[in-house]
Amino acid sequence: MKAEDAAAIAAMEAEIFSCPWSEKSFLEAVKDKNACYLKAELAGKEGNTLAGYCGFWQSFEDADIMNVAVKEGLRGRGIAKSMLEKLMEYGKERGICSYTLEVRESNLPAIHLYEKLGFVQEGIRKNFYDRPKENALIFWKR
């Protein structure tokens, strides 16, 4: 992901999440040396189309995975899995040994994906999400 992608990614974020990050937040993340963000695109006749994005923020040998998103009409094609696998490859190169993330407890497709990738639920953050209020499940991959 590059700075020039921030506007399109923020627009997709606003379509998907009830409390989206702003374009400014994505610009800051792209510039942060502790962060790594990827985007997925699909090639088409009229150019590439943004399909999804994800990222992490690194603290020593741990990373917090954030903003995993795939455009609604493109879900179920393995895009999120591919992005996360690539993201963790980059993390390994940076010395990351453990990953954590939060997910809405009602987001069963994401939960199944994380479990398939080797993440294990290790906790709950009560009422973590807003609009609607919902618990977050905390997952780790060590």
Q: Where are the domains of the chain?
A: 3-141
Residue of 111, 117, 53 whose CA lies nearest to 88: 117
| Sheet strands side by side (includes 47-59) | 35-44, 47-59, 62-70, 98-104, 134-141, 120-129
pLDDT score of 74? 94
Instruction: Assign 14 a pLDDT band (cuts: 50, 70, 90).
Output: very high
- 85's CB contacts (< 8 A; 6+ apart) are 117
> Given a cut of 90, is residue 47 above it in pLDDT?
no
Task: Give mean pLDDT, residues 95-115.
Answer: 97
pLDDT score of 118? 98
> Given a cut of 90, is residue 46 above it in pLDDT?
no
Residues forming the active site:
102, 114
CATH tag, 3-141: 3.40.630.30
Is residue 99 a contact partner of residue 91, using CB atoms and an 8 Å limit? yes
pLDDT score of 88? 98
Task: Give mean pLDDT, residues 121-126.
Answer: 98
Q: Which residue has the tokens 């493109």?
A: 74
Per-residue model confidence as pLDDT tens digits over 71-88:
999 999 999 999 999 999
pLDDT score of 110? 96
φ, ψ for residue 125 (rounded to 5)? -105, 110
Instruction: Assign 35 a pLDDT band (cuts: 50, 70, 90).
Output: very high
